[in-house]
Chains A and B, each alone.
Chain A
Amino acid sequence: MAYGGYDWNRRLGDYISSVADALNSQNGGQLSTLISVSRGSYCNVVAAGLDQNKGQDVNRLSRQLEKVAPLGEMLGQHMRCMQYFVNRRFVDSYNALEKSANAFLQEFRNWESAWAMKALHTVAYELRTIAEMADKEMASNGKIPDKLKGAGSFLMKVFGALAGKGPKRVGALYVTCQLFKIYFKLGTVHLCRSVIRSIETARVFDFEEFPIRDRVTYMYYTGRLEVFNDQFVLADQKLMYALVHCDPLKKNNIRMVLKYLIPVKLSLGVMPSKLLLERYGLLEYKEVIQALRTGDIRLLRQALQTNEDQFLRSGVYLVLEKLELQCYRRLMRKIHIIQKQKDPGRAHQVKMDCVLKALKWLNIEMDIDEVECIMAILIYRNYIKGYFSHKSKVVVLSKQDPFPALTAMT
């Protein structure tokens, strides 16, 4: 064999010895680096080494490992996974990885301490990443992708292994976050519920004990879930937690939190400053905020349309659409102010015709019935205090506090 071939063989052997060392010395960090696939540096070594030899060598090598450390089977599958990965056969790579992860999990359950937590996290990360790639491959071959779904089920098992009492539970939040990422990608967010319940209600978890990075990620995703359920106060709490505890240097992460926090804040009547938008590159919200400040419904609709793609991709479009009611409220407020200047005695009576005129001026086509409907909804939802008369087509605002603060509403 040429010198090069021998070199790969030897390097492969070295790799296996390092793994054995890491296992024996219970060095989680080193093990984690060694088994990293998509972000790791050892893939090429392993792949090249295996490519040179026949497949049966994998078994020989893993048996070799078995003699010194218990994870022979796992390593065998893992090396195959690496080999497939380098050859861009992601579906096969994922399948091998799942077997490897299975073997690893079984051993992990037996270990008393949590020394291998970092390695387990690496495995979780790899499962998700490679599953995503495998799904893409399957879709391009015309099959219905299901690897990511499988990764989700497997990670639930991992979560189960970590969720008990004992030192291992600190690692559970990381796995939870991986699960969240998977469920959000698949759209099956209803599956998040059971995991959240375990974390938030079980007494074995003290939330503040988890590493801060995991906590921020967790709050970010649960905050987003609250947004989907239109629970803006809760969403505000969670996203604010994420924002406050996020590393100030990680601008990208802050931007991601803000992207969802801003619509939530707007729904609660809190406007971000222009400076904030500029600093974090969120200028798509600029016109929206301006429309809200002035009660300009036309501008709001325009702003939504211009940035439609962006808002739809990030999933905030529906929240922003709902801001239209707030815009109407603002418009009513302006009308009220103008009327007060003209005739303070009767300012609290707003003719619906007047609103109709204002809307027409904004190029918004509506009939009087729809205006009445909007007024009814504004009153019902507590944006406005007062009542309306169907017969005389008038909205009578309450003399005291006709426009209650938005933050007062849920």
Chain B
Amino acid sequence: MADTFPASHGDMSRQSNSHDNNRDVPKPSSSNNNNNNNNNSHGEFDSIGRHGFMDARNSHQQNSSRKRNNRPTFWQRGPIAPSMSWRDQSRLAEMGSRNSYDIPDDVHGDAAGRRPQSTGTQPNAEPHWEKGGKWRSRSNKSVPPVRALAAYSDVGVQDEGNLVTSIVGTCQDMCPVCRTIAVAELQPSDVRPQHVLWETLQYLLEMTDRRDCTFESVHAFLFDRTRAVRQELSMQCIANSQAITMIEEIVRFHIMSERELQEQIAGLRNDADSQLNLQQLSKSLLTLLNLYSAVEAEASSGWAHEAEFHGYYVLLNLGDRGHSKAEPLALWFRRVRSLVLQAPAFMYCRRVLRCYRSGNYKGFFDLAQKASYLQGCLMELYFGEIRTLALRAINCGGYKTHPFLLGDIAELLLMKEDDTEEFCKTHGLITCLDKGQLYLTAKQTTFSPSIQTFRHQCSLISRKRAPTFFQEIVGVRDKN
């Protein structure tokens, strides 16, 4: 998507060319003037684990053949988000975290082939990249799936010197988030304390509104880093109201990005990416729900957003297929507190569930119109299914000589008329034109379930979004 090329593109290329191949000490390429303080605190590069590693890489015979595409070295490109080494290409799916730099062979990996970074201590884990960290974005000329794209942060570098790097600020120190730490090697200095995690998260979430890079790349970046934040929260067994707020925000981010990504790269998006995002969404949601019961709320009315998120759980599991790993909703309901059961947000989601299970498509879409933005995002996951059911029912029960006006169907199912026509076509149903209007005749025997998953953008839902992503995620915050 060349049109989303960042404005700062030009700057980048200038900078990268200025790098010197012979440089021993790495310097972040986003060398803004006000970034001098970064050089000292890049403890990583000074640390023992890194001594001479780049040299070894350059001089080692076998390594040179492992350089992918003979790309410019690390120093020329500048620090990039941890890219996967060539070894891990085949293990894309398991590599939830893009974590390894091209590190020499003598650092042992864990079972999944991931290698721990031996970063030094982080004297203070302040996000350095806040201070003028530069953004780069990726050119999406080839449109590979989001996950792989994020992982191959140096993909496209071979494009005639067009700058394509991935997102990360200058701060390599913050890349504790990028590594996989074998639990045995974990040190207190490797993990960020709560207040740092909070700052980190706020900074990350503000990135969602950046206009100089695609949402896709933002999402990929945040995907890993929010996961790391969650991991570090759980590693330290932090369970308090701030932790709850943090995870609430992360869940909202996942819900929102599911839809936003769908909107922006409709049709081109990999199903696997969607799966990954939804997987992390349900994991974070489950963690959150556990926290709600584990931690005592200060207010007697419980946690402010508890009902909202229980509602999201219901919406996420509407389908509740028996073969999935999730607990059947019937069992899950047992554990929900009465306070939550009666809350309006939760009652709304229960009504949605009722409509879904009865097949009441009209009721379902009526409720969808009343949904909040995030609820709409989740409900949209089931739109295709319900629409198919509606077509089926109409086709089955309609009167043969009284064809259904397509415009009415479109209105019913919250689609545009053209989309509805297309939708019918993919299901093997033919529409007929009569006096300038399209009709669907009933009792067609050619109905077949559609193989493609259609995601028609529903503008109704888009309209409900808050002005900025950040606002949507963070919501109304009490001043504390």
Q: Footprint of B on A, CB under 8 Å?
A: 139, 142-144, 184, 187-190, 227-229, 308-309, 312-319, 321-322, 324-325, 369-370, 372-377, 379-381, 386-392, 396
A194 vs chain B, min Cβ distance (A): 13
From A318, A324, A369, give the contact of B329 (CB < 8 A): A318
Tally of contacts, chain A with chain B, CB under 8 A: 117
- What are 30 sample pairs from A and B whose C-beta atoms fall under 8 A apart? A184-B331, A187-B327, A187-B328, A187-B335, A188-B325, A188-B327, A189-B327, A190-B325, A228-B328, A312-B334, A315-B330, A318-B333, A318-B357, A321-B354, A370-B363, A375-B397, A376-B396, A376-B397, A377-B360, A379-B393, A379-B396, A380-B393, A386-B397, A387-B398, A387-B442, A388-B399, A389-B398, A389-B399, A391-B399, A391-B402
**Which chain B residues (438-461) contact chain A, with CB distance < 8 Å?**
442
**Which chain B residues (338-372) contact chain A, with CB distance < 8 Å?**
338, 341, 353-354, 357-363, 366
Complex Cα gap A103–B303 (Å): 46
Residues of B within 8 A of A391 (CB): 399, 402
| Closest partner residue, chain B, to A390 (CB atom) | B404
Whether B396 pairs with A313 at a CB distance below 8 angstroms is no
B435 at the interface (CB under 8 A from A): no
Whether B359 pairs with A377 at a CB distance below 8 angstroms is yes
Whether A387 pairs with B360 at a CB distance below 8 angstroms is no
Whether B239 pairs with A142 at a CB distance below 8 angstroms is yes
Whether B393 pairs with A390 at a CB distance below 8 angstroms is no
From A315, A380, A381, give the contact of B331 (CB < 8 A): A315
Whether A321 pairs with B357 at a CB distance below 8 angstroms is yes
Complex Cα gap A208–B77 (Å): 72
Complex Cα gap A55–B410 (Å): 77
The 9 A-B pairs with the shortest beta carbon distances in the complex, nearest first, are A187-B327, A379-B397, A373-B362, A229-B322, A376-B393, A380-B393, A389-B399, A315-B330, A228-B328
Whether A390 pairs with B358 at a CB distance below 8 angstroms is no
Whether B334 pairs with A313 at a CB distance below 8 angstroms is yes
Residues of B within 8 A of A143 (CB): 237
Complex Cα gap A316–B330 (Å): 7
Residues of A within 8 A of B294 (CB): 139, 142, 144
Interface centre among B333, B357, B399 (most CB of A within 10 A): B399
Residues of A within 8 A of B336 (CB): 312
Complex Cα gap A204–B311 (Å): 46
B281 vs chain A, min Cβ distance (A): 19
| Closest partner residue, chain A, to B234 (CB atom) | A144
B336 vs chain A, min Cβ distance (A): 8
Whether A390 pairs with B398 at a CB distance below 8 angstroms is yes
B290 at the interface (CB under 8 A from A): yes
**Which chain B residues (403-433) contact chain A, with CB distance < 8 Å?**
404-405, 408, 412
Whether B332 pairs with A373 at a CB distance below 8 angstroms is no
From A229, A319, A325, give the contact of B358 (CB < 8 A): A325
| Closest partner residue, chain B, to A385 (CB atom) | B397
Given A369-B362, A374-B360, A376-B394, 8 extra CB contacts under 8 A: A139-B294, A228-B331, A229-B322, A322-B358, A379-B396, A386-B397, A388-B398, A391-B402
Whether A315 pairs with B333 at a CB distance below 8 angstroms is yes
Whether A389 pairs with B362 at a CB distance below 8 angstroms is no
Complex Cα gap A18–B243 (Å): 54
Whether A377 pairs with B322 at a CB distance below 8 angstroms is no
From A228, A374, A387, give the contact of B399 (CB < 8 A): A387
Q: CB-defined interface of B306-328 with A at 8 Å, one 1/0 digit per residue?
A: 00000000000000001111011
B392 at the interface (CB under 8 A from A): yes
Residues of A within 8 A of B393 (CB): 373, 376-377, 379-380
Residues of B within 8 A of A319 (CB): 330
Interface centre among B294, B324, B338 (most CB of A within 10 A): B294
Q: Footprint of A on B, CB under 8 Å?
A: 237, 239, 290, 294, 322-325, 327-336, 338, 341, 353-354, 357-363, 366, 390, 392-394, 396-400, 402, 404-405, 408, 412, 442
Complex Cα gap A189–B329 (Å): 11
| Closest partner residue, chain B, to A313 (CB atom) | B334
Residues of A within 8 A of B290 (CB): 144
Whether A228 pairs with B330 at a CB distance below 8 angstroms is yes
Whether A380 pairs with B397 at a CB distance below 8 angstroms is yes
Residues of B within 8 A of A374 (CB): 360, 362
B83 vs chain A, min Cβ distance (A): 34
Residues of A within 8 A of B334 (CB): 312-315
From A315, A321, A369, give the contact of B412 (CB < 8 A): A369
| Closest partner residue, chain B, to A312 (CB atom) | B333
Whether A308 pairs with B341 at a CB distance below 8 angstroms is yes
Whether B396 pairs with A396 at a CB distance below 8 angstroms is no
Whether A187 pairs with B331 at a CB distance below 8 angstroms is yes
Complex Cα gap A376–B399 (Å): 11
Whether B398 pairs with A189 at a CB distance below 8 angstroms is no
| Closest partner residue, chain B, to A388 (CB atom) | B397
A161 vs chain B, min Cβ distance (A): 26
Whether A392 pairs with B402 at a CB distance below 8 angstroms is yes
Whether B359 pairs with A318 at a CB distance below 8 angstroms is no
Residues of A within 8 A of B396 (CB): 376, 379-380
Residues of A within 8 A of B442 (CB): 387
Complex Cα gap A189–B328 (Å): 8
Complex Cα gap A391–B399 (Å): 9
A386 vs chain B, min Cβ distance (A): 8
B189 vs chain A, min Cβ distance (A): 25
Residues of A within 8 A of B363 (CB): 370, 373
User: A317 with B405: in contact, given A308-B341, A373-B362 (CB under 8 Å)?
Assistant: no
Interface centre among B294, B336, B393 (most CB of A within 10 A): B393
Residues of B within 8 A of A369 (CB): 362, 412
B113 vs chain A, min Cβ distance (A): 27
Complex Cα gap A189–B320 (Å): 12
B237 vs chain A, min Cβ distance (A): 8
Whether B392 pairs with A380 at a CB distance below 8 angstroms is yes
Residues of A within 8 A of B412 (CB): 369, 373
B329 vs chain A, min Cβ distance (A): 6
Residues of A within 8 A of B397 (CB): 375-376, 379-380, 386-388
B111 vs chain A, min Cβ distance (A): 20
Whether B331 pairs with A390 at a CB distance below 8 angstroms is no
Whether A390 pairs with B408 at a CB distance below 8 angstroms is yes
Whether B404 pairs with A228 at a CB distance below 8 angstroms is no
Complex Cα gap A204–B186 (Å): 49
| Closest partner residue, chain A, to B396 (CB atom) | A380
A23 vs chain B, min Cβ distance (A): 41
Complex Cα gap A375–B397 (Å): 8
Residues of A within 8 A of B328 (CB): 187, 189, 228
A212 vs chain B, min Cβ distance (A): 27
Whether B399 pairs with A396 at a CB distance below 8 angstroms is yes
Whether A370 pairs with B358 at a CB distance below 8 angstroms is no
| Closest partner residue, chain A, to B411 (CB atom) | A369
| Closest partner residue, chain A, to B394 (CB atom) | A376
Residues of A within 8 A of B359 (CB): 377, 380-381
Whether A373 pairs with B361 at a CB distance below 8 angstroms is yes
A330 vs chain B, min Cβ distance (A): 15
Complex Cα gap A374–B237 (Å): 50
A135 vs chain B, min Cβ distance (A): 13
User: A190 with B360: in contact, given A317-B333, A377-B393, A380-B396 (CB under 8 Å)?
Assistant: no
Complex Cα gap A379–B390 (Å): 12
Residues of B within 8 A of A142 (CB): 237, 239, 294
